Chain A
């Protein structure tokens, strides 16, 4: 099944945020903070205003003079009103006739700042592991603590306690398309076109930042040149819109890759401590402690740690546990979601730990996991019911492949296994509008395709399956937040699984309505000579003949499908903040990596790779395969080379692709993808979300392969040659 957007994209024929343009448009540039933490003593904007081509310059004062009062009360105002919280934070913005002029003028704004103490790293805030009392430190912006069962007793009576500490690094999404938007403002009405995964969520976010009603603002999504979580919350839009108010002209704002890196909203470093008690070869108690760098995030970030810590317990039966996590504010840019937010990092620590434990016990790592892995009917540590879950099947399939690989494993090579789970998100639910017209079906959505195919292709395939109408006669169309029905957006691997259910319901109601009109119990649709036909047994009706005069005038039969998620029974007292966002099913992924370790340089080569992905039902297997391959390769980047490096002064040392190394075509090993079906999800036809799971186990699988090859564990990711060499005591 080829995707309808593939050829237009390949011809360069679709418009992304970077391509936005409007008559009379100005170009914008940002003035960015020269220190990581401080106060602005004075900032003269006058000289920049007088520079050639400059039409507007806005700073903190213009929030007060140009926007409603609410804009000053926003949790995070357009520009910081009190403190600069990270180096490069936007503190003013310029709009000019050309981009050059805007950048020149932005560079000419030189604020006088008073520097404050910088916390560049978690260790600057907490040189020692913090006690529970540290939760009162103003730099702790999230804290979760929970326990279940008599943990102490289990640890006391254990045969073995396995204790380790892991460190993970900052990783950037690096969508190929930088952020870009075009803002317009006229008579108190705002409109922004932008490269976003979540038009409706963005509208809400922007309305609160600008102090306006959501009804005064329209967000229109463009095609998105990759999102990976980085194109959700407000980013450049507030600056473009404030400049549009000031200049009364449309304003285009995009950023360079260097700015993209320095503005962040990425995965940040963490320190993870794991203690596991084992008795009779089984895990009986877990202690999990997490320090998560959340950068310049504001208080109330409990969800960030709550959510991350869930992955640290893993897809294993956990009788007793104690978990504690701190979200630590530092002077880095704020933490943000990145494809399966923080899961690859958590899983790197957990699955390395489990693997080491299995080896210590002399048990095969896959066999050890099989002893404790969730099965249908289990409940998670947080008391969530586990439905059909393909991880056990995945582990068994992986065991066969690993066995085959091991029969001819060259010296210096090792095989690692790791597994991960994901829960398909419902988000805040969503709706789809289906218009069945005489010549085909149109599905109207607010969000555009971000790349994985779930919107442009997945939703169409769901309608195709329900209606029997061929894909060629189904089109996904895009509206803005004023014309399209609400949906939460593309994130959490939810599009097909959750929004797909809205489409499925809409399509089913079309079937019901039409069946009634032709007096049949079952119908399907066909397209013939450009005409939609309703087929009931041997009878065929032209759709156009079945429409009411009003429907004919409106162009077709219009229905809305809605899906706001399943009801769940969960013991609320065991639910951590953010750890159980509305989810509808669990999916599992098991990965195998074979690596070759250069014992002189510490250099790793991933020789081959296999991914066993629980997909529920693959609605389009080739599309799923593409998601798995893409996720694995992105995970290999995080495993081997991708790392944002900050200096002790909280300066990002590698804000560009030269020193932040992404996987390239020749780096990619052969990847064997096996889809595990038969463990139905809640999505259409039993589908589960698969956008995020494939990235999750990768760093752990690679690390475990290194341990297998060398007998040495690396406790930090990414596994750069230097870190591996140090672990092997070569340095």
Chain B
């Protein structure tokens, strides 16, 4: 297994890591090298959405991406997003709607929703936003409170 140094742009800051195995997944680099544990580790197979981050603004499952593949790209995690306006708005909507129970899925939902609401121009229709969350699993809420949060966040934008 070969190891090399790796540079990443994380939440607007350049980060540099030594001796990173070539096969290391972005999820692990973010959590264990950068120490940003707001990105959650669930299934590691691309089926739950807990590990969602933004790569150049696009929602991306960090468990399915090698860190090396995105060395040139701009990566935003929940920690970065929650300091931005759209992130704060979405988080407030989740809080108000009672859409957070164990919270393990929540950062992934926030990232996936904020990515869709972050663009210029009017927000996409509600149905489009909900379709955009099909990759995110929640085992606690039954999704109805999350749907309310989505509608509220869309209104607030």
Question: Could you list which residues of chain A lie within 8 angstroms of chain B, going by C-beta atoms?
Answer: 2-3, 5-7, 9-16, 18-19, 21, 100, 174-178, 223-228, 256-257, 449-453, 622-623, 625-626, 629-634, 656-658, 662-666, 668, 671
Q: Are B101 and A453 in contact (CB under 8 A)?
A: yes
- Complex: A174 Cα to B137 Cα, angstroms: 11
User: What residue of chain B has the Cβ atom nearest to residue A629's Cβ?
Assistant: B142
Q: How far is the CB of B145 from chain A (nearest CB, A)?
A: 6
User: What residue of chain A has the Cβ atom nearest to residue B109's Cβ?
Assistant: A10
Q: How far is the CB of B28 from chain A (nearest CB, A)?
A: 8
Q: Are A629 and B144 in contact (CB under 8 A)?
A: yes
Contact of A176 with B144 at beta-carbon distance under 8 Å, contacts A10-B95, A257-B43 already known: no
Q: Are B42 and A176 in contact (CB under 8 A)?
A: yes
Q: Are B95 and A632 in contact (CB under 8 A)?
A: no
- List 13 A-B residue pairs with CB atoms under 8 Å apart, sorted by A's residue number: A2-B98, A7-B91, A16-B104, A175-B102, A176-B40, A176-B42, A177-B42, A178-B42, A451-B102, A623-B98, A625-B98, A629-B143, A630-B139
Question: Could you list which residues of chain B lie within 8 angstroms of chain A, going by C-beta atoms?
Answer: 1, 21, 31-32, 36-45, 47-48, 50, 77-79, 82, 90-92, 94-96, 98-107, 110, 130-131, 133-134, 136-147
Q: Are B140 and A451 in contact (CB under 8 A)?
A: yes
Contact of A665 with B130 at beta-carbon distance under 8 Å, contacts A9-B103, A14-B103 already known: yes
- Complex: A449 Cα to B105 Cα, angstroms: 15
User: B43 contacts which chain A residues (CB < 8 A)?
Assistant: 257, 656-657
- Complex: A6 Cα to B92 Cα, angstroms: 9
Q: Are A257 and B42 in contact (CB under 8 A)?
A: yes
Q: Are A11 and B98 in contact (CB under 8 A)?
A: no
User: B141 contacts which chain A residues (CB < 8 A)?
Assistant: 626, 629-630, 633
User: What residue of chain A has the Cβ atom nearest to residue B133's Cβ?
Assistant: A665
Contact of A228 with B139 at beta-carbon distance under 8 Å, contacts A176-B104, A657-B43 already known: yes
- Complex: A657 Cα to B48 Cα, angstroms: 8
User: A450 contacts which chain B residues (CB < 8 A)?
Assistant: 102
Q: Are A668 and B142 in contact (CB under 8 A)?
A: yes
Contact of A15 with B37 at beta-carbon distance under 8 Å, contacts A657-B137, A671-B144 already known: yes
User: B140 contacts which chain A residues (CB < 8 A)?
Assistant: 176, 226, 451-452, 630
Contact of A12 with B38 at beta-carbon distance under 8 Å, contacts A176-B50, A634-B139, A665-B143 already known: yes
Q: How far is the CB of A198 from chain B (nearest CB, A)?
A: 16
- Complex: A359 Cα to B79 Cα, angstroms: 57
User: What residue of chain A has the Cβ atom nearest to residue B106's Cβ?
Assistant: A10
Q: Are B45 and A656 in contact (CB under 8 A)?
A: yes
Contact of A10 with B137 at beta-carbon distance under 8 Å, contacts A178-B42, A658-B45, A668-B144 already known: no
- Complex: A12 Cα to B100 Cα, angstroms: 12
Q: Are B142 and A176 in contact (CB under 8 A)?
A: no
Q: Are B131 and A10 in contact (CB under 8 A)?
A: no
- Complex: A188 Cα to B106 Cα, angstroms: 40
User: A14 contacts which chain B residues (CB < 8 A)?
Assistant: 103
Q: How far is the CB of B101 from chain A (nearest CB, A)?
A: 4
Q: Are A225 and B40 in contact (CB under 8 A)?
A: yes
Q: How far is the CB of A692 from chain B (nearest CB, A)?
A: 13
User: What residue of chain B has the Cβ atom nearest to residue A173's Cβ?
Assistant: B139
Q: Are A629 and B79 in contact (CB under 8 A)?
A: no
Q: How far is the CB of B19 from chain A (nearest CB, A)?
A: 10
Q: Are A12 and B45 in contact (CB under 8 A)?
A: no
User: B94 contacts which chain A residues (CB < 8 A)?
Assistant: 6, 10
- Complex: A663 Cα to B103 Cα, angstroms: 17
Q: How far is the CB of A449 from chain B (nearest CB, A)?
A: 8
User: B90 contacts which chain A residues (CB < 8 A)?
Assistant: 10
User: B98 contacts which chain A residues (CB < 8 A)?
Assistant: 2-3, 6, 622-623, 625-626
- Complex: A291 Cα to B98 Cα, angstroms: 40
User: What residue of chain A has the Cβ atom nearest to residue B94's Cβ?
Assistant: A10
Q: Are B104 and A630 in contact (CB under 8 A)?
A: no
User: What residue of chain A has the Cβ atom nearest to residue B91's Cβ?
Assistant: A10
Contact of A9 with B100 at beta-carbon distance under 8 Å, contacts A100-B21, A176-B42, A668-B143 already known: yes
Contact of A12 with B95 at beta-carbon distance under 8 Å, contacts A257-B43, A658-B45 already known: no
User: A223 contacts which chain B residues (CB < 8 A)?
Assistant: 102-103
- Complex: A21 Cα to B142 Cα, angstroms: 31
- Complex: A9 Cα to B78 Cα, angstroms: 11
Q: Are A174 and B139 in contact (CB under 8 A)?
A: yes
Q: How far is the CB of B108 from chain A (nearest CB, A)?
A: 9
User: What residue of chain A has the Cβ atom nearest to residue B137's Cβ?
Assistant: A662
User: A12 contacts which chain B residues (CB < 8 A)?
Assistant: 36-40, 77-79, 82, 107
User: What residue of chain B has the Cβ atom nearest to residue A451's Cβ?
Assistant: B102
User: B42 contacts which chain A residues (CB < 8 A)?
Assistant: 176-178, 257
- Complex: A567 Cα to B91 Cα, angstroms: 46
- Complex: A227 Cα to B138 Cα, angstroms: 13
Contact of A225 with B102 at beta-carbon distance under 8 Å, contacts A631-B142, A633-B142 already known: yes
Closest 6 CB pairs of A and B: A12-B38, A9-B103, A451-B102, A225-B104, A633-B142, A629-B142
- Complex: A257 Cα to B90 Cα, angstroms: 29
Q: How far is the CB of A227 from chain B (nearest CB, A)?
A: 8
- Complex: A687 Cα to B81 Cα, angstroms: 39
User: A665 contacts which chain B residues (CB < 8 A)?
Assistant: 130, 133-134, 136, 138, 143, 146-147
User: A633 contacts which chain B residues (CB < 8 A)?
Assistant: 141-143
Q: Given B31, B136, B137, B142, which contacts A632 in the complex, CB threshold below 8 Å? A: B142
- Complex: A633 Cα to B144 Cα, angstroms: 10
Q: Are A226 and B104 in contact (CB under 8 A)?
A: yes
User: B78 contacts which chain A residues (CB < 8 A)?
Assistant: 11-12
Contact of A634 with B79 at beta-carbon distance under 8 Å, contacts A177-B42, A662-B137 already known: no
Question: Interface centre among B92, B107, B141, by most A CB within 10 Å?
Answer: B141
Known: A2-B98, A226-B104. 20 other contacts (CB 8 A): A5-B100, A6-B99, A7-B100, A10-B110, A12-B107, A18-B41, A21-B32, A100-B21, A176-B139, A225-B40, A225-B104, A226-B139, A257-B44, A450-B102, A451-B140, A622-B98, A629-B141, A657-B43, A664-B137, A664-B143
Q: How far is the CB of A16 from chain B (nearest CB, A)?
A: 6
Question: Interface centre among A10, A13, A630, A634, by most B CB within 10 Å?
Answer: A10
Q: Are B107 and A657 in contact (CB under 8 A)?
A: no
Q: Are B107 and A10 in contact (CB under 8 A)?
A: yes
Question: Interface centre among A15, A228, A256, A665, by most B CB within 10 Å?
Answer: A665
User: A7 contacts which chain B residues (CB < 8 A)?
Assistant: 91-92, 95, 100
User: B110 contacts which chain A residues (CB < 8 A)?
Assistant: 10
User: B145 contacts which chain A residues (CB < 8 A)?
Assistant: 626, 629
- Complex: A141 Cα to B103 Cα, angstroms: 38
User: B102 contacts which chain A residues (CB < 8 A)?
Assistant: 9, 175-177, 223-227, 449-451
Q: Are B139 and A662 in contact (CB under 8 A)?
A: yes
